[in-house]
């Protein structure tokens, strides 16, 4: 049996393929690639029935070239040291690529949260935060976690509250985590951020006529058939925005099955059905598929893996029919699977770029917590007053009046969510243009993933050189 490559080794394979195309010294490249530190925690949990269980958890800090380090916390039975190291490395490259000034980190607790009560999850989260605080693996200027698979705003609120209780008098304690509820220091737009970023990234990739022509597709999103794997936070919002942008969502896969309708699925209705029944299966008007992974091999224009890593491997990659694979999850395609897809002429929009919307808006939330003021609060009314004055002047000069609806639309100032979404859109467009430019610079002999790694490596290397560590 062939040796199975670890997730961290798989990430490093992609790193090495890009690193040989740079001019940085071997010692510097080795420093960038290595994981700076991993903390393995074990602690007892008293279950609601009185029994005692040992919980295992990790936090990996991959790179300290910039502080704080940043990365999500996932609750999953698949969590292990290799996984958190790999995900922390991806965070380093992701932050560098989109010019977010963080190093990369990741954490996880090895549990299946479906088998724990809400009170037990709270106790696990607070104890995990306590352990991180003891070893200085959390703090606004040190290490800033965020939600990931199996966690959300509630867990982040518990973490922030626990950290604040242990750090009496620290003014910026709310900035110790991001992805919090808005009422607890979160930022508007964070919940949708990763999925919205996926949409912006796919939209930008599909806007280039020559790139789409090479795939046998028209430019733009209109009528492109899309299959989404995963209807969690990322997959749901990505599918929702893609559908709103003109794409047709033909298939959705979840852990317990998949549904397919070539005429299109209403994403909101599918989500409501899932909440009501506990599953997307038996959605009215759609074909239900028990073998959920088989949906990845259906005919479509864009496949969006938005679940977990290692979903497309050398085993199923030859059967993937999508012309564009958009990595909304972290590491959904193995390096061997990637090579096969590339040989078959597929476009792969890499995770280091495509799912960076979450960390981008987490950066905005972190800035908000440090500044202690809501985005838009200082200038919204002034902006509206200025815009109204300009409209009135235009009415006076033209002799024509605007309707109340037109005035309301044209004078409105930017609120917090408007600014967050605008900043996210700007970030995703600029990052794609950058990696596409690197690809062009190499005469299109490299793919977008390698171009993204080259960009990230160059930026991290520049930070180390500016610190005087390397010549």
Residues acting as catalytic residues: 106
> Residue 254 in contact with residue 239, Cβ under 8 Å?
no
Tokens of 397: 């000069």
The tokens for 463 are: 């930070």
Q: Find, among 10, 361, 353, the residue nearest to 179 by Cα.
A: 361
What six digits make up the tokens of 86? Answer: 């790999």
Q: How many helices (H) and strands (E) does the chain have?
A: 16, 12
- CB count in 10 Å sphere of residue 21: 15
Cα dihedral sign, 167-172-176-182: positive
Give dist(CA 88, CA 461) in Å, integer: 17
Q: What are phi and psi of 378, to 5 degrees?
A: -75, -30
Task: Pull the structure tokens for residue 242.
Answer: 């893609």
**Helix H or strand E segment including 40:** strand 37-46
The label of the residue with tokens 């759609």 reads: 286
Which CA distances in Å does 417 have to 183, 376, 423? Answer: 14, 9, 10
Residue 316 contacts residue 292 (beta carbons within 8 Å): no
Helices (H), 72-208: 81-97, 118-134, 153-166, 190-205
Question: How many angstroms separate the CA atoms of 30 and 16, rounded?
Answer: 10
| Cβ contact 195:235 at 8 Å | yes
Write phi, then psi, for 6 (nearest 5 degrees): -70, 160
Contacts of 327 (CB under 8 A, 6+ apart): 305, 333, 348, 349, 350, 351, 354, 355
Q: How many Cα atoms sit within 13 Å of 306 on the Cβ side? A: 31
Strand partners, 46: 52
Are 348 and 325 contacting, i.e. CB atoms less than 8 angstroms apart? yes
């Amino acid at each position: 049996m062939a040796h199975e490559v670890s997730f961290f080794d798989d990430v490093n394979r992609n790193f090495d393929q890009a690193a040989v195309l740079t001019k940085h010294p071997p010692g510097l490249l080795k420093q960038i690639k290595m994981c700076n530190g991993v903390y393995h925690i074990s602690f007892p949990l008293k279950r609601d029935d009185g029994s005692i269980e040992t919980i295992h958890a990790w936090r990996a800090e991959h790179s300290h070239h910039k502080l704080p380090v940043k990365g999500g916390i996932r609750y999953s039975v698949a969590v292990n040291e290799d996984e958190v190291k790999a995900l922390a490395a991806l965070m380093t490259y992701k932050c560098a690529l989109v010019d977010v000034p963080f190093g990369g980190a990741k954490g996880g607790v090895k549990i299946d949260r479906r088998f724990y009560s809400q009170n037990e999850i709270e106790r696990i989260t607070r104890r995990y935060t306590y352990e991180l605080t003891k070893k200085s693996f959390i703090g606004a200027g040190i290490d800033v976690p965020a939600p990931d698979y199996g966690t959300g705003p509630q867990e982040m609120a518990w973490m922030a509250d626990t950290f604040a209780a242990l750090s009496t008098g620290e003014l910026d304690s709310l900035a110790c985590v991001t992805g919090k509820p808005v009422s607890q220091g979160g930022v508007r737009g964070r919940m949708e951020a990763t999925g919205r970023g996926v949409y912006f990234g796919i939209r930008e990739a599909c806007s280039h006529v020559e790139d789409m022509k090479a795939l046998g597709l028209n430019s733009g999103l209109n009528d492109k058939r899309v299959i989404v794997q995963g209807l969690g936070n990322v997959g749901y919002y990505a599918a929702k925005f893609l559908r709103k942008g003109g794409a047709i969502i033909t298939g959705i896969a979840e852990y317990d099955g998949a549904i397919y309708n070539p005429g299109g699925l209403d994403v909101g209705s599918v989500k409501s059905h899932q909440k009501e029944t506990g599953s997307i299966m038996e959605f009215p008007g759609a074909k239900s598929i028990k073998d959920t992974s088989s949906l990845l091999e259906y005919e479509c224009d864009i496949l969006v893996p938005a679940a977990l890593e290692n979903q497309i491997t050398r085993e199923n990659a030859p059967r993937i029919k999508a012309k564009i694979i958009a990595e909304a999850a972290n590491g959904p395609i193995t390096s061997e699977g990637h090579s096969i897809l590339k040989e078959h002429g597929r476009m792969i929009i890499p995770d280091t770029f495509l799912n960076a919307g979450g960390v981008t808006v987490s950066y905005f939330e972190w800035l908000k917590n440090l500044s202690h003021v809501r985005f838009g609060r200082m200038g919204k009314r002034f902006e509206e007053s200025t815009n109204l004055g300009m409209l009135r002047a235009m009415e006076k000069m033209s002799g024509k009046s605007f309707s109340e609806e037109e005035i309301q639309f044209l004078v409105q100032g930017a609120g917090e969510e408007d600014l967050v979404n605008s900043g996210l859109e700007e970030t995703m467009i600029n990052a794609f243009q950058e990696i596409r430019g690197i690809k062009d610079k190499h005469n299109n002999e490299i793919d977008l993933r390698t171009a993204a790694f080259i960009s990230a490596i160059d930026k991290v290397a520049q930070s180390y050189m500016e610190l005087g560590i390397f010549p």
